[in-house]
Chains A and B, each alone.
Chain A
């Protein structure tokens, strides 16, 4: 419970720190890694490296799911087949209401009146993302995430050429934005955030055709390429935080196993939210197995990249059942 609370606070913006309590078994493993002969350890590491098969399994699955979800909206409208009508902010899947949690929140706060369809759609989406991991919405559905991933590749190329460097920003800013936009909706009576939400803008641009609003999305991408890596998703987007909160109690998550890990940090390099992987740093794991916190988008890049299989997807409770 303490650990979960810590993970939640880290999601809200606190910097992770070394856990105060480490289980005995984990302490033994940490000690063992320190005592092992350096050369043997290095040889083992290189052996694993030599046999590592670079996989894009989860990334490919995720991109396929993301494109399928967004294209289903487009195809539904274009051919008028009425499978998935609307846009990401609100839609109907074969007639059944689905409403984005953050958009619903904005409308409820601004309008201060909630109709039945809004409740049905919001509840359905809430339960769905509770089951499949909260912020998995970000990496598996949000169209901005995909373009930001491509922008990140460009950013990393420029970093490699020493033309730019990643400038980090205070992560607490996202929590502040969440509060400010909630307050603005309530006070002004306008869904202020919806006007600049790149998720909504991109989704509507795909379905109903492009508009001037795409310039805002472009500005965000330029900022991310030249100044701060993945800045919108990391430091600003209140949608991510809303889904993050939903994911606190989600059974689907990435699990870290201490034993086989060489603490090389490949996972932290590819991660959108490296603070959730603080536990993989040498000596930081509080237990032999640590579930990754709710800010994790379940994108699976760390699972793909880990040479030792120390990071895997797990469904809480399911492994015990089987």
Chain B
């Protein structure tokens, strides 16, 4: 800039009007493309700001912000899941586009794979067995002990390699719960059109089958307890209702990892029990 004072102004030929117009238009187009790309990129914030979509993430996922930061959106977790519980989010998830989530009511994670395959598949550590030291564990998110997989109860190594829960199950609609009503259940849990699958140990340990191919006939409904893959995570207990009457109801315990099998299998519509994603265990 300093030498422009020394040189005469004529060193730079004046632009013709046409040239000037072209330069201005080119500048405007550059601004247009910049604005379009940046606008699209930053609109990814909107779903996060409004936080309408709280997602249940696969087992072993880091806390939400770290998870979105570290996920490379490749879907390898989707590919290894034996029950195809994991889906990739669409553009409506903003920065979460292409990030895996689980819709438990449609297809819960039932740990059919025994070893949490999605964690093994993750190339960036967004899903991990061992959280790096600099990332704190939220209070109540950590599990008191390694969860025991009912399917592997008799094995020498019978635990799941999980240290934190995905969420916690909660009986949100006790008025619908068949156990609370003291009713039994007969038929297919979710109707004959339901596409969800699950591993039934008495059918085949290695091959999950459709829930619709496994009808039930039980005196008092306890599907959520019966099909929960984790030992000691839920049981039917005798409790007192608000009006003082005694009743039976499913009660969730500390080992609950928030996998969502109870939500998937619950035969009433809408489900009486659901997983609250990212919820921690409160004493």
Contacts and interface: CB of A to CB of B under 8 A. Distances in A.
Contacts of B29: 167-169, 227-228
Interface stretch (B74-82, B197-205, B255-263, B269-277): B74-82
A204 B123 contact: no
A173 B123 contact: no
A231 B34 CA distance: 11
B73 A200 contact: yes
A192 B88 CA distance: 17
A110 B78 contact: no
A181 interface: yes
B95 A204 contact: no
A89 B91 contact: no
B68 A208 contact: no
B76 A86 contact: yes
B69 interface: yes
A87 B74 contact: yes
B38 A189 contact: no
A148 to B, nearest CB: 15
B69 A236 contact: no
Contacts of A86: 74-76, 79, 123
A111 interface: yes
A89 B74 contact: yes
Contacts of A219: 36, 40
A163 B66 CA distance: 48
A208 B42 contact: no
A97 B41 contact: no
B74 A212 contact: no
Given A200-B98, A228-B29, A117 B123 contact: yes
A196 B134 contact: no
Contacts of B135: 113
B75 A208 contact: yes
Interface in A163-177: 167-170, 173, 176-177
A212 B92 contact: yes
A90 B76 contact: yes
A196 B121 CA distance: 24
A110 to B, nearest CB: 4
A280 B91 CA distance: 44
Interface string A254-277: 000000000000000000000000
A194 interface: yes
A194 B89 CA distance: 13
- Dominant SS at the B interface? helix
Given A99-B123, A117-B124, A196-B40, A211 B79 contact: no
Given A169-B33, A195-B94, A90 B132 contact: no
Interface in A143-192: 167-170, 173, 176-177, 180-181, 184, 189-192
A173 B37 CA distance: 11
Interface in B49-87: 65-66, 68-76, 78-80
Contacts of B68: 189-191
A99 B71 CA distance: 12
Given A86-B74, A208-B75, A227-B29, A191 B69 contact: yes
Contacts of A204: 73, 75, 88, 98
A107 B33 CA distance: 25
Contact of A87 (B27, B75, B92): B75
A92 interface: yes
B30 A85 contact: no
Given A87-B75, A99-B123, A212 B30 contact: no
Nearest to A204: B98
B41 A184 contact: yes
Contacts of A211: 90-91
B70 A89 contact: no
Interface in A55-99: 77, 80, 85-92, 97, 99
A216 B73 contact: no
Interface in A219-248: 219, 223, 227-228, 231, 235-236
Contacts of B91: 195, 211-213, 215-216
Contacts of A80: 79
Given A180-B38, A208-B88, A195 B95 contact: yes
Interface of B: 25-27, 29-30, 33-34, 36-38, 40-42, 44, 65-66, 68-76, 78-80, 88, 90-92, 94-95, 97-98, 121, 123-125, 128, 132, 134-135
11 contacts: A80-B79, A88-B74, A92-B121, A117-B123, A118-B124, A168-B26, A169-B30, A181-B41, A195-B44, A200-B73, A204-B88
Given A169-B26, A173-B33, 13 more contacts: A77-B79, A88-B74, A89-B73, A90-B76, A90-B124, A92-B121, A99-B72, A111-B66, A168-B29, A180-B38, A192-B44, A195-B91, A204-B73
Interface of A: 77, 80, 85-92, 97, 99-100, 103-104, 107, 110-111, 113, 115, 117-118, 121, 167-170, 173, 176-177, 180-181, 184, 189-196, 200-201, 204, 207-208, 211-213, 215-216, 219, 223, 227-228, 231, 235-236
